[in-house]
Amino acid sequence: MVLDPGERKRQLRKKRPSVEPNPAEPGRKRRLVRDLVEHSHDLLCIHDLDGRFLSVNPVPARLLGYSVEEVLRTPMRDFIDPQFHDQFEAYLREVKSAGVARECWRCGRDRRAAHLEYHNTLRTKGIEKPMVRGIAHDVTDRVRAEKALRTSEQRLRLAQEVARMGNVRAQPADRREQLEPEMEALYGLAPGKFPRTVEAFLELVHAEDRPLVARLLEQSLQDSTVEGEWRVVWPTARCIGSGRWRFSRMRPEAL
């Protein structure tokens, strides 16, 4: 059967395989990038060197309590907690001179305020006026955890000062020690004067008690908890051999 030219063209169009859209096609690629930016929870922005936003994605703006329109018409400085205003001015100078800057500021409105960690870079090529490309990640949980840890450490240090207690951590690999400041006071040493070695620690112990303390240290490094009492020779009285008693509990900790 011979088909007329019109019918032949219709048959060829029907048999033509379907072509999947190419993600690399310029128009489609721009749409994908726009979709990524608009739905990102990280703050993606562009601002000028006068400290004004030129563009910002909507999700983080909304999470911080603002509309995109409000962000674009308000100076960046006004979104930052006043305690960081001096740092913001320094940031503008740094990104202008170095071309890159990292900062962490508390930004946002009322209870929606969050600590944002920025990593921004300057663009100067191919444009009339320099602009800064910015990305900021919400690190509020990390900042709160660090603050809680500092508070806990301060309370522990206060309790140790009141109870006249202290901590010492020995590293078996290099036989070095880390002392809390209270430990130096308990051993009659000025701040920073402890040499931070196991051998130096044993020098502070009464000569008759050193074998006991050395044995307890070795046992504690063998995955066992040990307790003991020994005499410490006070620096001002070492020439006459008098000492003060100390009680200690030692146990291994996984790092």
Q: What is d(CA 191, CA 229) in angstroms, rounded to the nearest whole number?
A: 24
| Cβ neighbours for 121, distance < 8 A, ≥ 6 positions apart | 95, 99, 100, 132, 133
Kindly report the pTM of this predicted structure: 0.53
Q: What is d(CA 100, CA 225) in angstroms, rounded to the nearest whole number?
A: 51
Q: What is d(CA 185, CA 180) in angstroms, rounded to the nearest whole number?
A: 9
For 205-221, b where at least 16 C-beta lie within 10 A, e where not — what string?
Answer: bbeebbeebeebbeebb
pLDDT in tens, the chain (255 residues): 454 555 555 555 555 555 455 555 667 888 888 888 888 889 999 999 999 999 999 998 998 899 999 999 999 999 999 988 989 999 999 999 999 999 898 998 877 899 999 999 999 999 999 999 999 999 999 988 988 888 877 776 666 555 555 555 555 555 445 555 566 766 777 777 766 777 878 888 888 888 988 888 888 777 678 888 888 877 655 444 456 776 666 665 554
- Closest Cα partner for 117 from 141, 92, 82? 141
Take residue 10 and report the two structure tokens written for it. 């219709």
Phi-psi region of 151 (alpha: psi -120 to 50; beta: other; left: phi over 0): alpha
